[in-house]
Amino acid sequence: MNILAIETSCDETSAAVLKGGRIASNIISSQLIHQTYGGVVPELASREHERLIVPVVHAALEQANIKKSELEFIAATAGPGLIGAVLVGLNFSKALAFALRVPLIPINHIEAHIFSTFIDDGSASIVNGLASSHDGSQKKFPSFPFISLTVSGGHTMLAFVQEDLNYQVIGKTIDDAAGEAFDKTGKMLELGYPAGPAIDKLAQTGDARFHLFPQGLTKHASGDLRFENNFDFSFSGLKTAVQSYLRDKSTAFVAAHLADICASIQEAITSVLVAKTMAAAEKFGVKTISVAGGVSANSGLRKKFEAGCRERGHALFIPKPIYSTDNAAMIATLAQLKIDRGHVEPHGYDVSAFSSFEPRLTL
């Protein structure tokens, strides 16, 4: 089966081809224009998608060595995301699907993150880092049921995923997303945009115990993580805490302790993510954990999850960093899973884009 997938939900213009069950190309063009503004400017993102979509799609087809006439399905992000940005990719896909007389599969991009641990690019194996398993069984993909943590710039969500692509959202952020917590606190430290990767890099040489920042919605801010079935997250308190912590610090102090401050911020964000995911696994009696979304590229978070899963004998699946942030390979992969399970309903070309998250696998 040959699928072309397109993802334009935020500031990455991406196209991928899935051929015979495997990713044959995955082109991602990250829009650098937003760095000047310290955040994504929606109107500029839409215009950049307009400019990039044709060359990116051509590059994906060329790299996969496939002609447009060989495509059997077009899959595209229909939401959630910046509505203008989503519309560029979705409308392009509608036009292409119509011209080629092939079905259009609209995809919820957060659901694509959830199932991004099913991406198979041929090199995908546990040992080379697509996924790691600590239960001894060298499985390539998560087995159902599993707990999924999706942590991106716009979303933080815990889900219990059952067989057949059914899932139940069991927790989400009540304010900022985990990625936003990295980006906003990083902005206070003048680390540019997005600040997640910069904090990650600096944290590697810092002391995570340098300062104890609050861990949202945990029973004790002291680090003793106990919850009463509360799987929601909150990161706005951390943002305020970092702001007031920095208020009376000199520039010299911040410069001298930048790595320590970054490590402490990262500790506050990642500890709560890992602890709540583990607590959810326990509550639902699940032994498999899947972590996805841009923040899952964070090396500190990966280490914590690896240690936690090893200790409990859980299998852990995290996509390669290239598949953690927004990419069309995950859109193609979810489209394939839906086709395999007969979840694809015939769609008209009147499917609309949506901006905020609601579970809707049957779009």
143-162 residues in contact with Zn ion (CB under 5 A) are 152
Q: Are 17 and 65 in contact (CB under 8 A)?
A: no
In the sheet that holds 315-317, the strands lie side by side as: 132-133, 315-317, 288-292, 146-151, 156-161, 167-172
Assigned token pair, 285: 């009696």
Residue 237 near which of Zn ion, ligand KG4, none (CB within 5-8 Å, type-dependent)? none
CB of 141 to ligand KG4, least distance (A): 20
Question: Please, what is the Cα angle at 327 between 321 and 333, to 5 degrees?
Answer: 100
Which residue number places its CB atom closest to Zn ion? Answer: 152
Number of residues that bind Zn ion (CB under 5 A): 2
Tell me whether residue 218 or residue 324 sits nearer to ligand KG4 (CB atom). Answer: 324
Closer to ligand KG4 by Cβ: residue 61 or 215: 215
Binding site for ligand KG4 (CB under 6 A): 10, 152-154, 179, 182-183, 194-197, 200, 293-295, 297-298, 325-326
**Partner residues linked to 106 by β-bridges:** 76
Q: Which C-beta is closer to Zn ion: that of 8 or that of 152?
A: 152
Pick the closer one to ligand KG4 by CB: 157 or 195: 195
Smallest distance, ligand KG4 to C-beta of residue 197, A: 4
d(CA 219, CA 276): 12
Write each residue from 55 to 94 as x if it is in contact with Zn ion (CB under 5 A), else as -, in one continuous string: ----------------------------------------
Nearest approach, Cβ of residue 127 and ligand KG4 (Å)? 22
Residues of span 256-275 touching Zn ion by CB under 5 A: none
Smallest distance, ligand KG4 to C-beta of residue 325, A: 3
Minimum distance from residue 115 beta carbon to Zn ion (Å): 13
Q: How far is the CB of 194 from ligand KG4 (least distance, A)?
A: 3
Question: How far, in Å, CA of 362 to CA of 160, rounded?
Answer: 18
Measured from the CB atom, the residue of 19 and 304 that comes closer to ligand KG4 is 304
Query: Residue 11 or 326: which CB sits closer to Zn ion?
Result: 326
Residue (of 16, 4, 14) closest to 48 by Cα position: 14
β-pairing verdict for 156-161 and 167-172 = antiparallel
Distance CA 276, CA 308 (A): 12
12 lines the binding site for Zn ion (CB under 5 A): no
Contact in structure between 179 and 194 (CB atoms under 8 Å): yes
Q: Which of Zn ion, ligand KG4, none does 325 bind, CB closer than 5 to 8 A by kind?
A: ligand KG4
Q: Which of 54, 49, 99 is nearest to 74 (CA)?
A: 99
- Is 117 one of the binding residues for Zn ion (CB under 5 A)? no
Closest by Cα among 206, 204, 203, 234 to 221: 234
**Contact between 326 and Zn ion per CB under 5 A:** yes
The contacts of residue 132 (CB under 8 Å, 6+ apart) are 126, 306, 316, 317, 318
25 vs 325, beta carbon nearer ligand KG4: 325
C-alpha 195/C-alpha 191 separation (Å) is 6
Distance of CA 153 to the CA centre of its chain: 8
Q: Which of 65, 172, 38 minimizes the C-alpha distance to 114?
A: 172
Q: Which lies closer to ligand KG4 via its Cβ, residue 204 or residue 240?
A: 204
Give me the residues that bind Zn ion (CB under 5 A), please: 152, 326
